[in-house]
Amino acid sequence: MRSLARSRLLASATSLSVLTAMGPAFAPSASGAPSFAVYHGTLGNGKTVVSRWKPCHSITYKVNLAAVPTRSRPRILAETPTAIRVLAARSGFRYRYLGQTREVPRPGSWNGQSAELVIAYTTPAKTRYLAGGPSGVAGPYWAWASHGVSTTRYLDAITGGFVDINTPDMLSNWRPGFGPGVTRGNLLLHKLGHATGLKHVSNRHLLMYPTMTSASPNGYAAGDGAGLALPSSASAPAV
Protein backbone atom coordinates (compact mmCIF):
# COMPACT_ATOMS: atom_id res chain seq x y z
CA MET A 1 0.00 0.00 0.00
CA ARG A 2 1.42 3.37 -1.03
CA SER A 3 0.17 6.79 0.03
CA LEU A 4 -0.62 9.33 -2.67
CA ALA A 5 -2.03 11.92 -0.32
CA ARG A 6 -0.36 15.01 -1.72
CA SER A 7 -1.51 17.10 -4.63
CA ARG A 8 -1.26 20.76 -5.48
CA LEU A 9 -3.60 23.23 -7.14
CA LEU A 10 -1.63 26.39 -7.71
CA ALA A 11 -2.72 29.93 -8.46
CA SER A 12 -1.61 31.46 -11.74
CA ALA A 13 -1.66 35.12 -12.68
CA THR A 14 -2.55 36.89 -15.91
CA SER A 15 -1.95 40.54 -16.64
CA LEU A 16 -5.49 41.23 -15.54
CA SER A 17 -6.08 39.20 -12.42
CA VAL A 18 -4.68 36.73 -9.93
CA LEU A 19 -6.50 33.60 -8.77
CA THR A 20 -6.36 33.22 -5.01
CA ALA A 21 -9.10 30.78 -4.05
CA MET A 22 -9.77 27.18 -5.04
CA GLY A 23 -12.07 24.49 -3.75
CA PRO A 24 -13.26 20.93 -4.38
CA ALA A 25 -16.55 19.76 -5.80
CA PHE A 26 -17.90 16.23 -5.86
CA ALA A 27 -20.10 14.48 -8.41
CA PRO A 28 -22.20 11.75 -6.75
CA SER A 29 -22.48 8.29 -8.24
CA ALA A 30 -25.69 6.30 -8.36
CA SER A 31 -24.92 4.98 -4.87
CA GLY A 32 -24.45 8.49 -3.52
CA ALA A 33 -20.70 8.15 -3.03
CA PRO A 34 -18.50 10.62 -4.91
CA SER A 35 -17.50 9.18 -8.30
CA PHE A 36 -15.03 11.96 -9.01
CA ALA A 37 -13.88 15.27 -7.60
CA VAL A 38 -12.61 18.23 -9.61
CA TYR A 39 -10.88 21.48 -8.87
CA HIS A 40 -12.97 24.63 -9.10
CA GLY A 41 -11.86 28.23 -9.26
CA THR A 42 -13.67 31.44 -8.31
CA LEU A 43 -13.89 34.24 -10.87
CA GLY A 44 -13.76 37.93 -10.04
CA ASN A 45 -17.56 38.11 -9.98
CA GLY A 46 -17.75 35.34 -7.38
CA LYS A 47 -18.91 32.66 -9.81
CA THR A 48 -17.42 29.19 -9.29
CA VAL A 49 -16.34 27.31 -12.42
CA VAL A 50 -14.68 23.99 -13.21
CA SER A 51 -10.92 24.40 -13.65
CA ARG A 52 -10.19 22.98 -17.09
CA TRP A 53 -7.68 23.05 -19.91
CA LYS A 54 -8.69 24.70 -23.17
CA PRO A 55 -9.91 21.86 -25.39
CA CYS A 56 -8.95 23.38 -28.73
CA HIS A 57 -5.18 23.07 -28.72
CA SER A 58 -2.49 20.45 -28.11
CA ILE A 59 -1.05 20.53 -24.58
CA THR A 60 2.73 20.52 -24.81
CA TYR A 61 4.77 18.41 -22.39
CA LYS A 62 8.38 17.60 -21.53
CA VAL A 63 9.94 14.87 -19.40
CA ASN A 64 12.88 15.09 -16.99
CA LEU A 65 14.66 11.75 -16.49
CA ALA A 66 17.74 13.16 -14.72
CA ALA A 67 17.16 11.19 -11.50
CA VAL A 68 16.46 7.89 -13.29
CA PRO A 69 19.43 5.48 -13.53
CA THR A 70 20.70 5.20 -17.09
CA ARG A 71 19.70 1.54 -17.44
CA SER A 72 16.09 2.34 -16.46
CA ARG A 73 15.60 5.41 -18.64
CA PRO A 74 14.38 3.69 -21.83
CA ARG A 75 11.66 1.85 -19.89
CA ILE A 76 10.56 4.97 -17.95
CA LEU A 77 10.60 7.08 -21.10
CA ALA A 78 8.40 4.49 -22.83
CA GLU A 79 5.95 4.31 -19.91
CA THR A 80 5.44 8.08 -19.88
CA PRO A 81 3.93 8.58 -23.37
CA THR A 82 1.89 5.42 -22.83
CA ALA A 83 0.30 7.09 -19.80
CA ILE A 84 -0.20 10.28 -21.81
CA ARG A 85 -2.03 8.30 -24.52
CA VAL A 86 -4.31 6.76 -21.89
CA LEU A 87 -4.99 10.21 -20.45
CA ALA A 88 -5.71 11.64 -23.90
CA ALA A 89 -8.15 8.86 -24.71
CA ARG A 90 -10.08 9.34 -21.47
CA SER A 91 -10.00 13.16 -21.32
CA GLY A 92 -10.39 14.10 -24.97
CA PHE A 93 -7.37 16.43 -24.79
CA ARG A 94 -4.49 16.31 -27.25
CA TYR A 95 -0.84 16.27 -26.17
CA ARG A 96 2.39 17.09 -28.01
CA TYR A 97 5.77 15.86 -26.79
CA LEU A 98 8.55 18.47 -26.92
CA GLY A 99 11.40 16.26 -25.70
CA GLN A 100 13.41 15.96 -22.53
CA THR A 101 14.25 18.72 -20.06
CA ARG A 102 16.29 19.31 -16.91
CA GLU A 103 13.49 21.33 -15.31
CA VAL A 104 12.19 20.35 -11.88
CA PRO A 105 8.89 21.96 -10.87
CA ARG A 106 9.25 23.84 -7.59
CA PRO A 107 7.06 26.32 -5.72
CA GLY A 108 6.99 29.48 -7.83
CA SER A 109 8.63 27.93 -10.90
CA TRP A 110 5.48 27.64 -13.04
CA ASN A 111 6.04 30.87 -14.97
CA GLY A 112 9.36 29.60 -16.33
CA GLN A 113 8.20 26.21 -17.60
CA SER A 114 9.28 25.52 -21.19
CA ALA A 115 6.20 23.34 -21.78
CA GLU A 116 2.66 23.56 -20.49
CA LEU A 117 3.12 20.27 -18.63
CA VAL A 118 6.42 19.17 -17.10
CA ILE A 119 6.79 15.61 -15.81
CA ALA A 120 9.89 15.33 -13.64
CA TYR A 121 11.32 12.09 -12.26
CA THR A 122 13.25 13.73 -9.47
CA THR A 123 14.14 13.50 -5.76
CA PRO A 124 13.11 15.25 -2.53
CA ALA A 125 16.49 17.02 -2.54
CA LYS A 126 15.55 18.81 -5.76
CA THR A 127 12.12 20.21 -4.87
CA ARG A 128 10.21 21.13 -1.72
CA TYR A 129 7.11 19.58 -3.25
CA LEU A 130 8.54 16.18 -2.30
CA ALA A 131 9.49 17.17 1.24
CA GLY A 132 8.49 14.38 3.59
CA GLY A 133 8.93 11.71 0.94
CA PRO A 134 5.56 11.38 -0.87
CA SER A 135 5.54 9.19 -3.95
CA GLY A 136 4.71 12.22 -6.06
CA VAL A 137 3.08 15.62 -6.17
CA ALA A 138 1.13 17.13 -9.06
CA GLY A 139 -1.34 19.84 -9.92
CA PRO A 140 -2.58 22.40 -12.44
CA TYR A 141 -2.07 26.14 -12.71
CA TRP A 142 -5.28 28.07 -13.34
CA ALA A 143 -5.98 31.66 -14.34
CA TRP A 144 -8.86 33.92 -15.22
CA ALA A 145 -9.15 37.25 -17.02
CA SER A 146 -12.01 39.61 -17.72
CA HIS A 147 -12.77 42.10 -20.47
CA GLY A 148 -15.65 44.21 -21.72
CA VAL A 149 -17.16 47.66 -21.27
CA SER A 150 -20.91 47.47 -20.73
CA THR A 151 -20.80 43.70 -20.22
CA THR A 152 -17.96 41.90 -18.49
CA ARG A 153 -16.89 38.59 -19.97
CA TYR A 154 -14.67 36.16 -18.09
CA LEU A 155 -12.19 33.77 -19.65
CA ASP A 156 -10.65 31.02 -17.57
CA ALA A 157 -8.50 27.97 -18.15
CA ILE A 158 -5.83 25.75 -16.71
CA THR A 159 -2.69 27.29 -18.18
CA GLY A 160 -0.13 24.71 -17.12
CA GLY A 161 0.57 21.75 -14.92
CA PHE A 162 3.30 19.63 -13.40
CA VAL A 163 4.10 16.18 -12.07
CA ASP A 164 6.99 15.53 -9.67
CA ILE A 165 7.68 11.82 -9.15
CA ASN A 166 9.85 10.70 -6.22
CA THR A 167 12.17 8.51 -8.29
CA PRO A 168 13.92 6.54 -5.50
CA ASP A 169 10.52 5.68 -3.99
CA MET A 170 9.08 4.77 -7.39
CA LEU A 171 11.94 2.44 -8.28
CA SER A 172 11.89 0.75 -4.86
CA ASN A 173 8.18 0.41 -4.15
CA TRP A 174 6.22 0.43 -7.42
CA ARG A 175 6.04 -2.45 -9.91
CA PRO A 176 7.22 -1.62 -13.44
CA GLY A 177 4.70 -1.08 -16.20
CA PHE A 178 0.94 -0.88 -16.06
CA GLY A 179 -1.77 -2.96 -14.47
CA PRO A 180 -3.89 -3.00 -11.31
CA GLY A 181 -2.47 -2.27 -7.89
CA VAL A 182 0.79 -0.56 -6.98
CA THR A 183 2.31 -0.06 -10.45
CA ARG A 184 4.35 2.76 -11.91
CA GLY A 185 1.69 3.23 -14.56
CA ASN A 186 -0.97 3.80 -11.94
CA LEU A 187 1.28 6.21 -10.06
CA LEU A 188 1.85 8.35 -13.15
CA LEU A 189 -1.80 8.19 -14.28
CA HIS A 190 -2.91 9.25 -10.79
CA LYS A 191 -0.57 12.25 -10.85
CA LEU A 192 -1.57 13.18 -14.39
CA GLY A 193 -5.17 13.12 -13.17
CA HIS A 194 -4.27 15.88 -10.71
CA ALA A 195 -2.54 17.89 -13.44
CA THR A 196 -5.70 17.59 -15.54
CA GLY A 197 -7.95 18.85 -12.75
CA LEU A 198 -8.98 15.84 -10.66
CA LYS A 199 -8.86 15.76 -6.87
CA HIS A 200 -8.75 12.80 -4.49
CA VAL A 201 -11.89 10.77 -3.84
CA SER A 202 -13.06 8.55 -1.00
CA ASN A 203 -13.88 5.53 -3.18
CA ARG A 204 -10.94 3.12 -2.87
CA HIS A 205 -11.84 1.43 -6.17
CA LEU A 206 -11.05 4.56 -8.18
CA LEU A 207 -7.56 5.52 -9.28
CA MET A 208 -7.88 8.96 -7.66
CA TYR A 209 -8.20 7.40 -4.20
CA PRO A 210 -5.31 8.86 -2.16
CA THR A 211 -3.72 5.48 -1.34
CA MET A 212 -2.72 2.89 -3.91
CA THR A 213 -3.55 -0.68 -2.86
CA SER A 214 -4.08 -4.09 -4.42
CA ALA A 215 -7.69 -2.97 -4.96
CA SER A 216 -6.62 -0.11 -7.22
CA PRO A 217 -7.91 -0.48 -10.79
CA ASN A 218 -5.91 -0.98 -13.95
CA GLY A 219 -5.69 2.69 -14.88
CA TYR A 220 -8.65 5.02 -14.73
CA ALA A 221 -11.94 3.52 -13.58
CA ALA A 222 -15.31 4.71 -14.87
CA GLY A 223 -15.63 7.41 -12.22
CA ASP A 224 -12.12 8.72 -12.92
CA GLY A 225 -12.92 8.81 -16.63
CA ALA A 226 -16.11 10.77 -16.02
CA GLY A 227 -14.12 13.41 -14.17
CA LEU A 228 -11.45 13.56 -16.87
CA ALA A 229 -14.08 14.02 -19.57
CA LEU A 230 -15.85 16.78 -17.65
CA PRO A 231 -13.35 19.57 -18.38
CA SER A 232 -13.47 19.04 -22.14
CA SER A 233 -17.26 18.65 -22.22
CA ALA A 234 -18.00 21.62 -19.96
CA SER A 235 -18.67 25.01 -21.53
CA ALA A 236 -15.29 25.92 -22.99
CA PRO A 237 -13.60 29.30 -22.75
CA ALA A 238 -13.13 31.35 -25.88
CA VAL A 239 -9.95 30.47 -27.77
Mean pLDDT of the chain: 81
Q: Is 81 left (phi over 0), alpha (psi -120 to 50) or beta?
A: alpha
Residue 18 predicted with pLDDT over 70: no
Contacts by 74-77 with C-beta closer than 8 Å and gap 24+? 75/176, 76/121, 76/184
pTM, 2 dp: 0.84
What confidence score (pLDDT) does residue 143 get?
81
Domain range list for the chain: 2-233
Minimum mean pLDDT range among 129-138, 173-182, 207-216, 230-239: 230-239
What confidence score (pLDDT) does residue 88 get?
96
What percent of the chain is predicted at pLDDT more than 90?
57
The structural architecture, per CATH, of the domain 2-233 is 3-Layer(aba) Sandwich (3.40)
> Rounded distance, CA 137 to CA 131, Å?
10
What confidence score (pLDDT) does residue 137 get?
93
